[in-house]
Chain A
Amino acid sequence: MPARPTVLDRALAGMHSAAMVDQAHRDERAATAPAAGRPPGMPDLSNLEIVPGKGLPVVAAVVVFVIAAIATNAYWALMFSHVVGGATWTALDLFLGLVLGPIMGRMSIPARAEFTSKLMPKMVLIMPTVVLMTLAAGLQIALHLGNLDPGSPNHAWLIASFCVVGVMAVIALGVLEPANIAVLFEMRKPTPNPAVIERLMKRFMFTAGITGIMQVATLVIMTRVATQ
């Protein structure tokens, strides 16, 4: 059953319509376009929500919680944000990159499209939120505990963790997330191109695998920091 469009989705759809090229151009294009219709077996995802509106209040609440934790230097709240965000981020990256990714790679494109249409919109909200929680709270905790002081035995480990997170951020923000959102837009088209979906999904799964492997390094670093 298709999801009911939210206000945000309707706004997105409206903006999309408003930005369409002029009618004459569309008529010209229609004349050269292939016969309308979805590829065989491809589910109708024209109502797909790219950003799940129901999740936005939760994201807003998390952001407010983290800002309040930083503003008040509330150590428990900072630690809660860092541990919950970090655990979720690491578990999702490992599971998606090393378990789910290879499984999805062996699914047929229609099955993968349907599964992706359920999973990816949630990831659009979850991943940036948990990353923000983890990093913003983590830096404050490091300052609070003095782990960034040059004399701290954890200093070098934290710099190593910055480097790992930096590489993951470039991969996730520059490659993975654009591919994720582009594949959702492609699936919403009346006539999605399976080749484009295939290409973007390969990019997504490859980069998810890399970030999954890099999360192993994060686990090693963080357990070292906690036990020095």
Chain B
Amino acid sequence: MTSAAAPPPSASSERALPPVAILATVALGCVIIAGILMASYAPRRPPLGAPGALLALGAVTLVVAFVMLARIREFAWGTFAMVYRWALLAYAISAGMIGFAFVHDHVTGSPLAVVAGSLVVFATSVPLAIAFTVARYADR
């Protein structure tokens, strides 16, 4: 890492970065649609084809976002980690509360697994979008 290669601070907001926040938002959208599909069948047992496919799509999109993020060479990693940790804590609490409501409503087996997977994507994608957006404008 050399000073000659480092862009000036003001350029940090201008440089092109992979669409990590967009992919995180797409992953979030996938699991929200899956959640709507499942909730629309409550209290009956929902068919899991479409919600399962959306969960898989959301999970793959999220993994791609993390891979793209990991390949960024110059980034405010310290700021990213700090924001991600706190946001993850907040959204893990939210996801835990939603999961508790589904368990309380006697959702079990495969539907619960899809709900749990969707909540994991929810609780990791939102902090990713927040932390990436903050870190892309932060000084490295």
Interface string of B73-94 (1 = CB under 8 A from A): 0000111011101100010011
Tell me if A28 and B8 are in contact (CB < 8 A): no
Say yes or no for A112: interface residue by CB 8 A criterion: no
CA of A51 to CA of B90 in the docked complex: distance in angstroms? 11
Interface string of A41-67 (1 = CB under 8 A from B): 000000000010000000000010011
Say yes or no for B134: interface residue by CB 8 A criterion: yes
Tell me if A193 and B10 are in contact (CB < 8 A): yes
Tell me if A178 and B21 are in contact (CB < 8 A): yes
Contacts of A182 in B (CB 8 A): 130, 133-134, 136-137
Query: In whole Å, how far is A38's beta carbon from the nearest beta carbon of chain B?
Result: 14
Say yes or no for B140: interface residue by CB 8 A criterion: yes
Total contacting residues, chain B, CB less than 8 A: 51
* Interface size class of chain A, counting residues whose CB lies under 8 Å from the partner chain: 35 or more
Question: Per a CB cutoff under 8 Å, which of B21, B33, B82 touches A16?
Answer: B82
What are 14 A-B pairs with beta-carbon distances under 8 A?
A16-B79, A28-B6, A32-B3, A63-B97, A132-B97, A139-B101, A140-B101, A143-B43, A166-B32, A174-B126, A177-B129, A186-B137, A196-B13, A196-B137
Which 6 A-B residue pairings sit nearest by Cβ, starting from the closest?
A: A19-B78, A174-B25, A178-B133, A28-B3, A15-B82, A162-B36
B interface list, Cβ under 8 A from A: 1-3, 6, 8-10, 13, 21, 24-25, 28-29, 32-33, 35-36, 39-40, 42-44, 77-79, 81-83, 85-86, 90, 93-94, 97-98, 100-101, 104-105, 125-126, 129-130, 132-134, 136-140
A interface list, Cβ under 8 A from B: 12, 15-16, 18-21, 25, 28-29, 31-34, 51, 63, 66-67, 70-71, 128, 132, 135-136, 139-140, 142-143, 148-150, 158-159, 162-163, 166, 169-170, 173-175, 177-179, 181-182, 185-186, 189, 191, 193, 195-196, 199-200
